A and B are shown apart, each in its own frame.
Chain A
């Protein structure tokens, strides 16, 4: 058995070596992608283009505007006293936020009436808008607090409006709330899945289309050995991928790796098992390379979107949440993030390990069965 397997493995590696694009396809895009996506994937909102309309032109209004400028989150791109300019700025995407201070702002502020402040947010990108709106409220609250400490309240009998309750925020595991730490482990899982799955998807179909599958059939090799020989090289490539990409994440992007490498390795092996199973299943169910390619293409997108990579699974409708149960990437993302950021161990992660193992063995068995049928 081992001899046959060895021969099979040699054949696969020779085939890989003959393909002059192989190394280029396997390594260069992977590294490039990690670096580019590592930088691209962020929901942080830092430079919000802001237009300011100041019709009050008072000390208070200027003070408020300087609060916005000083916060560091808002870049004031336009100061104007023409309301149409504001509309134009937002329509043409030159500004995302507009602060409108109407006449009488300072007067109201000093006379104990609440002063109206209008803020317009372009809601096209709801996420940016939501976060920017949060910053606006924070700045306004801070401005209010500073104003109330001014000694312009002559009447000390007034209720202390400063029933302040301060919030001590303590984000765990990621104290600076840097979302790159969240996405880079995700990029690692996604890229590995893409590469391994598409390589495997072509594995058997190619033999069939090129016509060498018949030669395999007349050889004494068993279906199980054939599949093993086909997948082992991809398994090794996948492990190499994960190691390479994780190294870039730790050394280049400085994502902390607090967990144990052994748990990561175990998770990676189980994940690769599932990814190979998925690829083989595609391969077993397609007749031409084109079909395998199309299926691969169409599966990768949902696998990626429904993995919790960027869109939280908890926000999906229940039906979709159930569908994610058969998505191996979903489990691997949990594992890889937990190992990287939380240093979690088997005691917490065992359900994810079990899920990947079940999915992997299930799909591999199914494709071996299907393949055996096509051999007979």
Chain B
């Protein structure tokens, strides 16, 4: 390896990057813009969900129950309906995610038999939202019932007893408010970096082919390894700047709690950058047309990182064969590292598993990329 030749390639590549300011601007500004957009967009919290109520009884108790839904803060509004048909229409139009049907005999059967029925109808199309919203609704109902029960006991001059009652103390660690943003935004950083990295390098070699400068490059005494390093250096710098932008926005703008060490963060991020840039470069060497390289890069990075990295969908819930595939998705290691550093404050030792995965990836990719480039024209 020759330092002068390496420098020459790096210099040439840097010049080429700088002469296409539009691409450079895209590479530097887009991640920031995306971070801002996606940071606000990725939330699984159930907010602004409306509920419909078909109150057949319309008594004081039933009205009391209804008013508790809005008061709980989980539901934005409660629309009163007056028929089953209206429920159907409201759910079809999306005015409300679900409906509550309070039967005519609600109060009566509760005070006489101690038993009553409430029917909830939910739009099951979005099963996750429904699941969570039903959970909230049940919580509201359970709380209301305890109150009704105590009131009833008081009215009859009795002490509500507590035999067999459990006082459930639920503690949530690491993310006390259960804010979905806190766990998704670090994943967004990984997704953006994976996309930017591959995008930056996936055209470097195929461009030489399409522009006809490959012959000139081959006729120089530069070695394959020098080409690789020289071409990657400027993009590595850009990728690190992008990463810094994204991580700073995550910490200071979105206020995701950062409990780990900055050194660990920088080291793992640099390692991840090597992997993504290496993959882009490898594709660029293997596939001669820019269109082909870009298509493959897109398929290999965008959706796998969003779907299989654990950034939204938990990996441990996937069926075993798909879980096996996720080990090939390099972003999965970085997502889990980022999440642990941010929320758990993990040290390098705690991160041994995913870190090993990244190191293996970096080594294999670097090796493949180094041997892939051949100084031949055919």
Residue from A36, A47, A111, A294 within 8 A of B322 (CB atoms): A36
* Interface 1/0 per residue, B138-165 and A, CB below 8 Å: 1101100100110011001011111111
Contact call B125/A342, Cβ cutoff below 8 A: yes
Chain B interface extent, by class = 35 or more
Of the listed stretches B18-26, B223-231, B355-363, B367-375, chain A binds B18-26
* Interface 1/0 per residue, B176-204 and A, CB below 8 Å: 10111011000000011001100100110
Contact call B127/A43, Cβ cutoff below 8 A: yes
The answer to the question of A177 belonging to the interface, with a C-beta cut-off of 8 Å to chain B, is yes
Q: Which residues of B contact A124 (CB under 8 A)?
A: 174-175, 183, 339, 343-344
Q: Which residues of A contact B58 (CB under 8 A)?
A: none
Contact call B168/A295, Cβ cutoff below 8 A: no
Contact call A316/B153, Cβ cutoff below 8 A: no
The answer to the question of B135 belonging to the interface, with a C-beta cut-off of 8 Å to chain A, is yes
Of the listed stretches A6-14, A164-172, A212-220, chain B binds A164-172
In residues 10-66 of chain A, which contact B (Cβ within 8 Å)? 19, 21, 25, 29, 33, 36-37, 39-47, 49
* Interface 1/0 per residue, A102-135 and B, CB below 8 Å: 0000000111111111111111111111110110
Contact call B110/A41, Cβ cutoff below 8 A: no
The answer to the question of B325 belonging to the interface, with a C-beta cut-off of 8 Å to chain A, is yes
Contact call A294/B199, Cβ cutoff below 8 A: yes
Q: Can you name the residue of chain B whose Cβ is closest to the Cβ of A123?
A: B175
A115 to B164, CA, bound (A): 8
Q: Which residues of B contact A110 (CB under 8 A)?
A: 163
A118 to B120, CA, bound (A): 30
The answer to the question of A374 belonging to the interface, with a C-beta cut-off of 8 Å to chain B, is no
Contact call B117/A166, Cβ cutoff below 8 A: yes
Contact call B34/A137, Cβ cutoff below 8 A: no
A122 to B26, CA, bound (A): 38
* Interface 1/0 per residue, B20-58 and A, CB below 8 Å: 101100110010011001101111111111000000000
The answer to the question of B64 belonging to the interface, with a C-beta cut-off of 8 Å to chain A, is no
The answer to the question of B171 belonging to the interface, with a C-beta cut-off of 8 Å to chain A, is yes
In residues 161-201 of chain A, which contact B (Cβ within 8 Å)? 161-175, 177-179, 181-182, 190-191, 194, 198
Of the listed stretches A235-243, A260-268, A298-306, A361-369, chain B binds A298-306
Contact call B166/A140, Cβ cutoff below 8 A: yes
Q: Which residues of A contact B5 (CB under 8 A)?
A: none
The answer to the question of A244 belonging to the interface, with a C-beta cut-off of 8 Å to chain B, is no
> Min CB distance, A205 to chain B, in Å?
10
Given A119-B168, A159-B161, A301-B38, decide whether A33 and B318 contact each other with a Cβ distance below 8 A.
no
Of the listed stretches B6-14, B244-252, B267-275, B295-303, chain A binds B295-303
A210 to B360, CA, bound (A): 39
Given A123-B174, A124-B175, A294-B199, decide whether A47 and B317 contact each other with a Cβ distance below 8 A.
yes
Q: Which residues of A contact B156 (CB under 8 A)?
A: 159
Count, chain A residues at interface, CB 8 A: 122
Q: Which residues of B contact A113 (CB under 8 A)?
A: 162
Residue from A29, A47, A165, A317 within 8 A of B118 (CB atoms): A165
> Min CB distance, A104 to chain B, in Å?
12
Given A166-B115, A170-B122, decide whether A129 and B291 contact each other with a Cβ distance below 8 A.
no
Q: Can you name the residue of chain A whose Cβ is closest to the Cβ of B203?
A: A290
> Min CB distance, A120 to chain B, in Å?
5
Residue from B167, B170, B296 within 8 A of A136 (CB atoms): B170
A123 to B181, CA, bound (A): 12
Secondary structure of the B side of the interface? helix
A1 to B170, CA, bound (A): 72
Total contacts A-B at CB 8 Å = 366
Q: Can you name the residue of chain B whose Cβ is closest to the Cβ of A295?
A: B26
The answer to the question of A322 belonging to the interface, with a C-beta cut-off of 8 Å to chain B, is no
A141 to B117, CA, bound (A): 17
Residue from B23, B195, B316, B325 within 8 A of A36 (CB atoms): B325
Q: Can you name the residue of chain A whose Cβ is closest to the Cβ of B109?
A: A165
The answer to the question of A341 belonging to the interface, with a C-beta cut-off of 8 Å to chain B, is yes
Q: Which residues of A contact B176 (CB under 8 A)?
A: 123
Of the listed stretches A146-154, A224-232, A245-253, A271-279, chain B binds A146-154
Contact call B164/A288, Cβ cutoff below 8 A: no
The answer to the question of B215 belonging to the interface, with a C-beta cut-off of 8 Å to chain A, is no
The answer to the question of A143 belonging to the interface, with a C-beta cut-off of 8 Å to chain B, is yes
A139 to B127, CA, bound (A): 21
Contact call B167/A115, Cβ cutoff below 8 A: yes
Contact call B122/A293, Cβ cutoff below 8 A: no
The answer to the question of B207 belonging to the interface, with a C-beta cut-off of 8 Å to chain A, is yes
Q: Which residues of A contact B125 (CB under 8 A)?
A: 173-174, 181-182, 337-338, 341-342
* Interface 1/0 per residue, A57-94 and B, CB below 8 Å: 00000000000000000000000000000000011100
> Min CB distance, B84 to chain A, in Å?
12
Q: Which residues of A contact B42 (CB under 8 A)?
A: 305, 311
Residue from B20, B116, B158 within 8 A of A157 (CB atoms): B158
Contact call A163/B149, Cβ cutoff below 8 A: yes
Q: Which residues of B contact A43 (CB under 8 A)?
A: 44, 127-128, 131, 313-314, 317
Q: Can you name the residue of chain A whose Cβ is closest to the Cβ of B312?
A: A310
Q: Which residues of B contact A161 (CB under 8 A)?
A: 149, 160-161, 163, 165
> Min CB distance, B60 to chain A, in Å?
16
Given A41-B313, A136-B168, A312-B129, decide whether A127 and B199 contact each other with a Cβ distance below 8 A.
no
A92 to B40, CA, bound (A): 29
In residues 305-354 of chain B, which contact A (Cβ within 8 Å)? 306-308, 312-314, 316-319, 321-322, 325-326, 339, 343-344, 350
Residue from B123, B153, B168, B172 within 8 A of A140 (CB atoms): B168
7 other contacts beyond A41-B307, A113-B162, A298-B34, with CB at 8 A cut-off? A19-B291, A33-B299, A127-B128, A148-B164, A182-B126, A289-B294, A291-B22
26 CB < 8 A contacts A-B: A21-B289, A40-B307, A43-B313, A111-B163, A114-B162, A117-B168, A121-B171, A124-B339, A125-B183, A129-B172, A134-B138, A147-B164, A150-B164, A165-B117, A170-B120, A179-B128, A182-B127, A206-B291, A209-B210, A288-B23, A289-B203, A295-B26, A296-B298, A297-B298, A301-B195, A316-B40
User: Interface of A with B (CB < 8 Å)?
Assistant: 19, 21, 25, 29, 33, 36-37, 39-47, 49, 90-92, 109-131, 133-134, 136-137, 140-141, 143-144, 147-148, 150, 152-153, 157-175, 177-179, 181-182, 190-191, 194, 198, 202, 206, 209-210, 286-291, 293-298, 300-302, 304-306, 310-312, 314-317, 319-320, 323, 337-338, 341-342, 344, 348
